[in-house]
Amino acid sequence: MALCLGTKRNGERCTASVEAPLTHCWWHDGKNSEQRKRAASRGGKSKPSRVSRDLHKLLEDLTARVVAGHLEPYPAAVAGQLVGVRLRLLEYERRVREQDELVGRLEELEEQIAAEKNSEGRRPWSA
Ligand SMILES: [Zn+2]
């Protein structure tokens, strides 16, 4: 059993234990960098979605038409309500995505812990 050769973000040596022939833990293994990037980008740091841009355009258009007198206030109010409903739906979808990602990370951690427990059991000096 050896320690990961990686360095944590704060500059300290990583304390995760790794099994030979591995020299780095999952987080520091270069092979997983693409996966880590994908996990990070799923974490709410993405740029505005196409739907969000479409909603902006629709709201701008509705506002301009009401102000110019081309659209009656009543249909405009209904359109505003529908946009509000859609925003709540988007928020709901975002929460579901976030939850999925958290569950995925949790499962990874559980697998890591289980793997560490198994390797501890194989130590010749363990009780
Ligand atoms: Zn590490």
The CA 94 to ligand 1 mean position distance, Å, reads 30
Structural contact between residues 110 and 26, judged by C-beta atoms closer than 8 angstroms: no
Quick one: CA dihedral 59, 62, 66, 67, positive or negative? positive
Q: Is the pLDDT of residue 22 over 60?
A: yes
Compute the distance from residue 43 Cα to the ligand 1 centre, in Å: 21
Ligand 1 centroid from CA 22, angstroms = 11
pLDDT at site 43: 56
With cut-offs at 50, 70 and 90, classify the pLDDT of residue 125. Answer: low
CA–centroid distance, residue 112 to ligand 1 (Å): 12
**Average pLDDT estimate for 103-114:** 90
Distance 16 CA to ligand 1 centre (A): 5
With 0.75 as the threshold, say if the pTM is over it: no
pLDDT (tens digit per residue) in 68-90? 888 888 888 888 898 999 899 88
